[in-house]
Amino acid sequence: MNPDIAIPVREPAQTGRDDTILPFEVNALDLRGRIVRLGPAVDTILTCHDYPLPVAKLLGEAIVLTVMLGSALKFEGRFILQTQSDGPVRMLVVDFVSPSKVRACARFDAERVAAAIAANAAAPGKLLGHGHLAMTIDQGLDMSRYQGLVPLEGGDLEQAAHEYFSRSEQIPTRVRLAVAEEFRAGENGAHRRWRAGGILLQFLPKSFERARQADLDPGDAPPGVEPHALPEDDAWVEGRSLVATVGDVELIDPELSSERLAYNLFHEHGVRVFRTATVEAQCSCSRQNVEAMLRSFSQDDRDDMVEDGKITVTCEFCSSTYEFAPEDVFVPEDVAAMAALSQRADS
């Protein structure tokens, strides 16, 4: 061993930790990646919503993908993943606030979802249908917002992620996502818990040439022209082939630590792990924010919201309920007029 390099070498951890993100790299192959393992965080969100099973599973996959990408932010900010599509699941929203908070919800057509389940056509791509997936990075007030868009064309979220990294970032990338319910016998009968996991692998060679990928078929080539055949780099072919062997069970198995999974995949080349990050299910809604939102509405809109003498707002993410007396959020007319004027001046 080279005495100049003071990187400690040890066995992979035997016990896994839930709700963690483990970054790793395989220098010999120019690969970098992250392994996400979710227990209570994903269970809290999915149990609270109690969506039909395939919708819960799909939202779970979106949560894993969001945690995987959002936890890579190097600054304080928000990473928002949102789908909008014409399938039975119209919208998924996952909101990650750095360094560690995640919340999520879905909007769907219950009848169409039930019909899809009955017809055995509730695979993720079928539930989403056609539309787009947007990934937004928001660094807060007065800071730039960055948005990446990728079309959804009947495929699942793994495919959408590959498409995004290939077209927008031009980084060869593979993503695997897995979500399942675990059944456990407990004192009060069987207990169900959601678990989820995923792995992201990216090829980041020092020379850009090596990261070039063949055009996605049919590419930009005019009809009749053979697509550009570019041989893929051997290191990347090996990396993506190894990730393709990872099964769903390995991604969610509480008995298999993330370090052990990384080791099993890449030990031949040497794999280096970095500090583990943690994630928790936590909503960012508050009475103050809801009040501010109500005050931004017109008096007519607020009047329409009054039921039994009060305005009730339920958070779509965490189901928290906030109640206001109409006079609590009353905005005097001249103040409202000034607010409208300043809005006009802004736009």
User: Whole-number minimum distance, CB 126 to Zn ion, in Å?
Assistant: 29
Q: In whole angstroms, give the CA distance from residue 73 to residue 347.
A: 30
Q: In whole angstroms, give the CA distance from residue 79 to residue 62.
A: 12
Should residue 63 be labelled a site residue for Zn ion when binding is judged by CB under 5 A? no
DSSP 244: H
Q: Rank residues 293 and 337 by Cβ distance to Zn ion and give the closer one.
A: 293
Q: Rank residues 305 and 315 by Cβ distance to Zn ion and give the closer one.
A: 315
Between strands 280-281 and 101-108, the pairing is parallel
Should residue 93 be labelled a site residue for Zn ion when binding is judged by CB under 5 A? no
Please select the residue that binds Zn ion; options are 123, 204, 273, 315, rule is CB under 5 A.
Answer: 315
Count of other CB atoms within 10 angstroms of residue 270: 14
CA-based torsion, 152, 158, 164, 170: positive or negative: negative
Only segment of 48-56, 79-87, 188-196, 316-324 that touches Zn ion (CB under 5 A): 316-324
The answer to whether the bond into 222 is cis (omega within 30° of 0) is no
Q: Rank residues 79 and 317 by Cβ distance to Zn ion and give the closer one.
A: 317
Q: Which residues pair with 149 in a beta bridge?
A: 134
Q: Rank residues 30 and 95 by Cβ distance to Zn ion and give the closer one.
A: 95
CA-based torsion, 163, 166, 167, 171: positive or negative: positive
Q: At what angle do helices 157-164 and 53-70 cross, to 10 degrees?
A: 30
Should residue 285 be labelled a site residue for Zn ion when binding is judged by CB under 5 A? yes
User: Whole-number minimum distance, CB 103 to Zn ion, in Å?
Assistant: 7
Site string for Zn ion, 317-336 (x = CB under 5 A): xx-x----------------
Q: How many residues bind Zn ion (CB under 5 A)?
A: 6
Please select the residue that binds Zn ion; options are 26, 283, 294, 329, rule is CB under 5 A.
Answer: 283
Q: Which residues bind Zn ion (CB under 5 A)?
A: 283, 285, 315, 317-318, 320
